[in-house]
């Protein structure tokens, strides 16, 4: 409730301080439209910029092709707690896409499909592949072709532009070779492709920007005309969700007409003061709110239960894009983050920490759970021991007599407890706790990890 109140209060504060300077009714309406359009459109604009950046990057890939990204790949990945993942941007306007799946692997992997509006379409994982499917087909909103012989699993994307991230859970250096093999075995092939095929970038001319940096940094520095030009471009091939069409209709006074190029010539000069102010205030809101978006904060751990399914919670959706689209479907993976100990001090390599999970409080899961250590740069701490985290599937875990489990996070090995230990960096760090295929109490948000204590 406090989070909602603070957000509304901030909106009212900037509206009062900024829009109160605007006395013209048309300018005030333009202010509101520009403010809402910026926040609503942020996921679309940053996705367009990410596509452009990724496909031109040396470690990137062409459309409809995976690129494997490691924590040391140079990619600006946030919270890369899996050490290794793969990513592909998908163009479904001209063809369906056939995904070849790993064969006979006991290791966990997942494919998270996300649409152009940053909504999770589906998560397909090894835990769900009970029928041992060898391939799945991803189709666009208008696809009407015939299925490949013997194929059963079809996923439909509501937008023509989408993206997919493959993940493999890794806890130590020994896992990395196997993880790469699994990711490399997942292939994408274009199926039932239209004649004279042209991919997304060939069909559209991106506005030339004077900015550089990550997609978020570029979006924050764009002027309103460039921003709305790119937003309109994204809306030409990606249908707006039905429950948001009425909301987007209010953007017409900005020159945004879904399905058409941006028409700034139709924007009255008298409205531009309101547009510029609304645009600027929306940027300030996002800068303030995005880094601290959370549904819950318990025992020092922050977490969300609606990632990838924000719906009409436009600020949360924009925050997800701001933070690098690092989202997971809660029914597949619940993720918790903390940077503080029991005293609310920052976690640092100069201290020794422990965390005890009571037997009755071990997280409900149909699969497993893991904890990883992230450095201050949001990358997994790669260390001489080659140990990146710990989980309930680790061999040799030592439980206490009462059935509880104590885990240790410190620079040196605790005597006789190496199996329960994870090394930490010398500077400030962060812990990521993930529960895979979680139970009801976990998905609902009721469960949270215990506090991180200081070893005395």
Express each pLDDT in 338-359 by its tens digit: 999 999 999 999 999 999 999 9
Residue 260 has pLDDT above 80, yes or no: yes
Structure-model confidence comparison of residues 8 and 273, the more confident one: 273
Task: Phi first, then psi: give them for residue 328, nearest 5 degrees.
Answer: -140, 150
More confident residue, 194 or 435: 435
pLDDT surpassing 80 at residue 15: no
What tokens appear for 273 in the block? Answer: 């003061």
103 pLDDT exceeds 90?
A: no
DSSP one-letter code for 415: T
- Top pLDDT among 346 and 386 is at 346
Distance CA 354, CA 181 (A): 34
Count Cβ atoms below 10 Å from residue 414 Cβ, excluding itself: 15
* Predicted pLDDT of residue 132: 85
Q: Is the pLDDT reported for residue 455 higher than 90?
A: yes
Give the mean model confidence (pLDDT) for residues 110-124: 91
For residue 322, pLDDT over 80 is answered with: yes
Run of H or E including 42: helix 25-56
141 has pLDDT over 60: yes
* Parallel, antiparallel or unpaired: strands 353-357 and 405-409: antiparallel
Q: What is the CA radius of gyration of the chain?
A: 23
Mean pLDDT over residues 211-224, rounded?
85
409 and 373 Cβ atoms separated by less than 8 Å: yes
- Mean pLDDT score across all residues of the chain: 85
Percent of the residues in the chain that have a pLDDT greater than 90, as a whole number:
50
Angle in degrees, CA 175, 65, 191, rounded to 5: 120
At 13 the pLDDT is 42
Q: Among 2, 45, 3, 1, which residue's Cα sits nearest to residue 316?
A: 3
Q: In the numeric block, which tokens belong to residue 229?
A: 């030009």
Question: In this predicted structure, what is the pLDDT of residue 81?
Answer: 59
With cut-offs at 50, 70 and 90, classify the pLDDT of residue 3: very low
What pLDDT is stored for residue 176 in this prediction?
A: 78
**Span 148-169, pLDDT tens digits:** 988 999 999 999 999 999 988 7
In the predicted structure, residue 204 carries a pLDDT above the cut 80? no
Express each pLDDT in 47-61 by its tens digit.
Answer: 998 887 777 766 667
pLDDT band for 98, please (50, 70, 90 cuts).
very high
Q: Looking at residue 152, what DSSP letter applies?
A: -
Q: How confident is the model at residue 277 (pLDDT cuts 50, 70, 90)?
A: very high
pLDDT digits (tens, 9 = 90+) for 58-91: 666 788 999 887 654 444 343 455 567 888 999 9
Question: In this structure, what token pair is assigned to residue 444?
Answer: 């609902």
pTM for this prediction: 0.84
pLDDT of residue 266: 76
| H or E stretch at 318 | helix 314-322
More confident residue, 128 or 299: 299
Q: Residue 253 — pLDDT band, cuts 50, 70, 90?
A: confident
Look at residue 58 in the predicted model and tell me its pLDDT.
Answer: 61
Confirm if 71 and 83 have CB atoms less than 8 A apart.
yes
**Is residue 226 over pLDDT 80?**
yes
Residue range 389-402, pLDDT digits in tens: 899 988 899 999 99
């Amino acid at each position: 409730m406090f989070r909602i109140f603070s957000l509304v209060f901030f909106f009212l504060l900037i509206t009062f301080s900024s829009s109160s300077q605007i006395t013209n009714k048309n300018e005030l309406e333009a202010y509101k439209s520009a403010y809402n359009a910026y926040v609503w459109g942020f996921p679309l604009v940053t996705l367009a910029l990410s596509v452009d950046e990724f496909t031109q990057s040396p470690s990137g890939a062409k459309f409809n092709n995976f690129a494997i990204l490691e924590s040391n790949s140079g990619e600006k990945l946030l919270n890369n707690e899996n050490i290794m993942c793969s990513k592909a941007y998908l163009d479904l306007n001209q063809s369906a896409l056939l995904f070849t799946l790993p064969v006979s692997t006991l290791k966990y992997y997942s494919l998270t499909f996300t649409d152009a509006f940053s909504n999770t379409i589906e998560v397909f994982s090894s835990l769900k592949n009970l029928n041992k499917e060898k391939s799945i087909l991803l189709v666009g909103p208008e696809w009407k072709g015939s299925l490949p012989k013997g194929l059963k699993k079809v996923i439909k994307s509501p937008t023509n532009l989408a993206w997919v991230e493959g993940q493999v859970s890794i806890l130590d250096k020994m896992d990395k070779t196997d993880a790469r093999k699994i990711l490399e075995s997942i292939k994408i092939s274009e199926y039932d492709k239209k004649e004279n095929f042209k991919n997304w970038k060939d069909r559209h001319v991106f506005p030339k920007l004077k900015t550089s940096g990550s997609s978020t940094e570029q979006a924050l520095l764009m002027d309103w005309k460039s921003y709305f030009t790119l937003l309109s471009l994204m809306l030409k091939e990606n249908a707006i969700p039905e429950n948001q069409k009425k909301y987007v209709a209010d953007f017409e006074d900005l020159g945004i007409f879904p399905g058409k190029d941006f028409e700034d010539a139709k924007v009255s000069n008298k409205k531009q003061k309101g547009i510029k102010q609304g645009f600027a205030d929306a940027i300030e809101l996002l800068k303030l709110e995005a880094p601290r978006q959370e549904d819950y904060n318990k025992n020092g751990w922050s977490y969300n239960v609606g990632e990838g399914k924000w719906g009409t919670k436009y600020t949360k959706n924009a925050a997800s894009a701001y933070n690098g689209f690092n989202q997971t479907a809660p029914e597949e993976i619940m993720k918790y983050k903390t940077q503080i100990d029991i005293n609310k001090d920052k976690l640092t390599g100069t201290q020794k920490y422990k965390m005890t999970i009571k037997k009755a409080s071990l997280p409900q899961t149909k699969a497993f759970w893991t904890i990883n250590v992230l450095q201050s740069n949001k990358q997994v701490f790669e260390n001489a021991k080659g140990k990146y985290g710990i989980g309930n599937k680790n061999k040799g875990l030592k439980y206490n007599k009462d059935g509880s489990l104590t885990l240790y996070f410190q620079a040196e090995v605790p005597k006789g407890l190496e199996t329960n230990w994870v090394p930490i960096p010398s500077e400030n760090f962060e812990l990521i706790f993930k529960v895979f295929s979680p139970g009801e109490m976990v998905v609902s948000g009721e469960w949270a990890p215990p506090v991180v204590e200081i070893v005395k």
